[in-house]
Structure 1
Amino acid sequence: MLRRQDVGHRVVVRRIVGVSQNRTLYSDALGELVGLTETDLTIATDKGTVRVPLREVHRAKRVPPARRPPAAEVIALELAANDAWPAPTQARLGSWILRAAENWTGRANSALAVGDPDRPLEAAVDAVQEWYSAHGQRTLINAPMPLAAPVNAALDARGWSARPLTLVQTASPASLLAALPARSDLPPAELADSLADDWLAMVAEHKGTLPAAARRILTAPADVVFAQVRDAGGGLLAVGRGAVTGPGRWLGVSLLQTAPHARRQGLAQHVLRELAQWGAQRGGARVYLQVEERNTSAVALYGRVGFTTHHTYLTREAPQP
């Protein structure tokens, strides 16, 4: 049987799915073990997340990992993403980054557990909890997988919950531009250096009320742009944000949204193409975005235009006292 230290690693699970003519029927699942409790286990497979009750597990074991990016590359991308979405309050715990931003978005209000926290793991988790308690916020830890597998195992043992699995997906600007032909039948996708009120209002519909910290996050990077598509009357149809950060010149795409009445017209792809072109002009060597694995429609869209999963992460939340 799998153990907590197997979380974050590639596993194969043979599951009992029924009986036919006195013969037991099995189904196999192969993927990354992202959760393990006393009652079930959760695997992120190529086809989605699978939750298996332990009572149905016939056999399970760790298997050699699929080809993965080097740990240094995962860390570099996570640090570039932090620079692209910078919490106004940050502190260091060794190499870990503690972040707070008035509770606006999990990314900006979680400890990024990459590298060495400069103390034993249990002491590091205690220090994270103390820091967030001092800031009057719930304690969250962002654990990239499988890099932070030991962190996830320790948090499992402490009874921490996990938010939905997030995919960090990447593509090259050239492949995106090839997969996303220019659309002359749509209003132009325009780029702005500043935030319009209705642009912020559209974001707030999905991300909640924007505190002062949100504006600081959105505008802080040196290379940042705000894309928008408007109809003939000036009404906002779609938005998106791009930021180029890090030594590797990563283009981070975020807040890609379309007004409900304007969906299924290709506007999201239209905005994405404009952002990819903007990023390429600023030396963006690679493009990344972050999407919840359960958002199947978005994952399918990104897959069609060339994005693949670079790595994943879990946002872990401490039990409430």
Structure 2
Amino acid sequence: MLGPEDVGHRVVVRRIVGVRGDRPVYSDALGELLEFDDDGLTVATADGPLRIPGDRVSAGKRIPHRRYGTAALERVASLAWPAPDTDRLGDWQLRAAGGWTGRGNSALPIGDPGLDLPDAIEAVRAWYAARGLPAQINVPLPLARAVDIALDERGWTRSPATLLQTVRLADLVAPEPGGSGHGDPEVRLDPLPAADWLAVVSARKGALPPEAYRLLTGPELVRFAAVYDGGRLVASARGTVVSGFLHLGLVEVAEPARRRGLAGLVTRALAGWAATTGAHDALLQVEGHNEAALALYARLGFTTHHSYVTRRLDAPDRVSA
């Protein structure tokens, strides 16, 4: 049977849905376990959250074919991209980083906000308004479909989907950080970002406020990968290890240096470093329309676990994903 320790994991629950000929009729509910309490449990199915009273539960178990639940991975990703200004709304997380990036300045609606959904949405709006920021909510799907529907009804705008992808770390073939010894350039892995590394990120994501530097360097285990050619930075990426996961991001290759395998090189170098810390899996977030990045990550073995969309109340100046 299931218990509170299974919250956040993918499960199947056999439930009683009726009676036929003095015998119970059963149906299975498949999805992520959102809540477990004395009165029953809630499962995030493909059709939305399903509340099952305890006296209707016949059996339940975790499903082994999916290693991690959406809630667990979203929390890991949030810890790997730690906004310096955070708060809680029940189980929901509120994050602000001076407006730098959507992930750093959005609510994560996982679990019970402790309020009715309309009141929770209004509380999110007020929290960001108090900081002079547009209200944004990153909605993982299908886990938070009820939130997504409620925001549709209230006219919040919707971004294209972002994919959260994962791979076993052992499946990322990682050379030594100093290079593979077979002609690959050296990959530097620094604990702090150099000025030229930050300049590349600023060109891609916008000017870096102080909150951005705190976000980038916040995790305890973080490395900034860099490849140089003739003294010029030609490839870069960020990796951080949180809860046994390598979170990869900000992979960038300068235009003249593309099609030389440098994106894969820095990714594998970070994987090699992460393996020395005891990490077991890697994850990343990539925009669903970024075909070049998707092709690269597919070659490296990444597969999509779930997607999320960023919902925004107003139409502010663009905030990067």
Same fold (TM over 0.5): yes
**Counterpart mapping for 1:232-243 below 5 A:** 233-243=230-240
Q: How much has 1:234 moved relative to structure 2?
A: 1.7
**Other-structure match for 1:150:** 146
Q: Following the alignment from structure 1 to structure 2, what is the Cα–Cα distance between the partners of residues 113 and 68?
A: 25
TM (norm. structure 1) is: 0.75
Structure 1 pair 72–264 and aligned structure 2 pair: CA distance change class (3 A): closer
Match of 1:198 in 2: 196
Alpha-carbon separation, structure 2, partners of 1:70 and 1:118: 29
Q: For residues 64 and 287 of structure 2, what CA distance do their matches in structure 1 show?
A: 20
Kept after mapping to 2: 8 A contact 1:144/1:311: yes
Q: Could you give the per-residue CA deviations for residues 27-86 of structure 1, whole angstroms, max 9, x where no partner exists? A: xxxxxxxxxxxxxxxxxxxxxxxxxxxxxxxxxxx7xxxx99879721111111111111
Aligned residue for 1:112, secondary structure, equals coil
Q: How high is the TM-score relative to the length of structure 2?
A: 0.75
Deviation at 1:184, TM superposition (A): 2.5
User: Using a 3 Å threshold, how does the CA distance of structure 1 residues 139 and 267 change in structure 2: closer, same or farther?
Assistant: same
Mapped to 1, the partners of 2:266 and 2:130 lie a distance apart of: 40
1:313 to 271, 293, 308: 308
Name the aligned partner's letter for residue 239 of structure 2.
G
The letter for the 2-side match of 1:294 is: H
Q: Is 1:217 matched with 2:215? A: yes
- Structure 2 residue 71 is matched with structure 1 residue 79: no
Query: After superposition, what is the alpha-carbon deviation per residue over 1:258-293, rounded to whole angstroms, capped at 9, x for unaligned?
Result: 111111110000001101111111111110000000
How much does 1:174 deviate?
1.1
- The offset of 1:187, in angstroms, is 1.2
Q: CA deviation at 1:128?
A: 0.3
The question of whether the paired residues in 1 share the 8 Å contact of 2:87 and 2:94 is answered with yes
Change (3 A) 1:183 1:258: farther
Asked if the contact 2:238/2:251 (under 8 Å) is kept, the reply is yes
C-alpha separation in 2, matches of 1:287 and 1:297: 19
Shift of 1:148: 0.4
Pick aligned residue for 1:188 from 183, 186, 189: 186
Change (3 A) 1:183 1:314: farther
- Matched residue of 2:265: which SS? helix
- Measure how far apart 1:119 and its partner are: 1.1
SS of the equivalent of 1:111 reads coil
- CA 234–210 in structure 1, closer or farther in 2 if over 3 Å, else same: same
**Aligned equivalents of 2:134 and 2:278: distance in 1?**
38
- The DSSP-based 3-state class of the residue aligned with 1:200 is helix
Which runs of 5 or more structure 1 residues have no equivalent in the other structure? Answer: 1-61
Name the count of aligned residue pairs: 255
Residue by residue over 1:232-280, the C-alpha shift from the partner in whole angstroms, topping out at 9 and shown as x without a partner, is: x32111001110113xx11100111011111111000000110111111
Residue among 269, 276, 279 paired with 2:271? 276
Give the whole-Å Cα distance in 1 for the aligned partners of 2:65 and 2:308.
Answer: 14
Task: Give the aligned partner of residue 105 of structure 1.
Answer: 101
**2: CA distance between counterparts of 1:253 and 1:320?**
29
Which secondary structure state, in structure 1, belongs to the residue aligned with residue 173 of structure 2? Answer: helix
The match for 1:228 is 226
Contact 1:69-1:310 at 8 Å conserved across structures: no
Determine if the alignment matches structure 1 residue 176 to structure 2 residue 172.
yes
CA contact (8 A) 2:174 2:268 kept: no
Q: What is the one-letter code of the residue matched to 1:310? A: H
Matches within 5 A, 1:131-150: 131-150=127-146
Aligned to 2:58: none
Counterpart residue type for residue 162 of structure 1: R
Within a 5 Å distance, the mapping from 1:261-272 to structure 2 comes to: 261-272=256-267
SS in 1 for 2:304: strand
Q: CA deviation at 1:145?
A: 0.5
Q: State the shift of 1:183 in Å.
A: 6.8
**AA matched with 2:204:** H
Ranges of 4+ aligned residues in structure 1 off by more than 3 Å: 67-72, 178-183
Distance in 2, Cα, partners of 1:125 & 1:70: 31
Of 72, 75, 86, the residue aligned with 1:90 is: 86
- Structure 1 residues 189-198 or 179-188, which shifts more? 179-188
**Paired AA for residue 124 in structure 2:** V
Do 1:179 and 1:305's aligned partners in 2 also have CA atoms closer than 8 Å?
no
The one of 287, 295, 306 aligned to 1:292: 287
CA contact (8 A) 1:71 1:147 kept: no
Shift of 1:186: 2.6
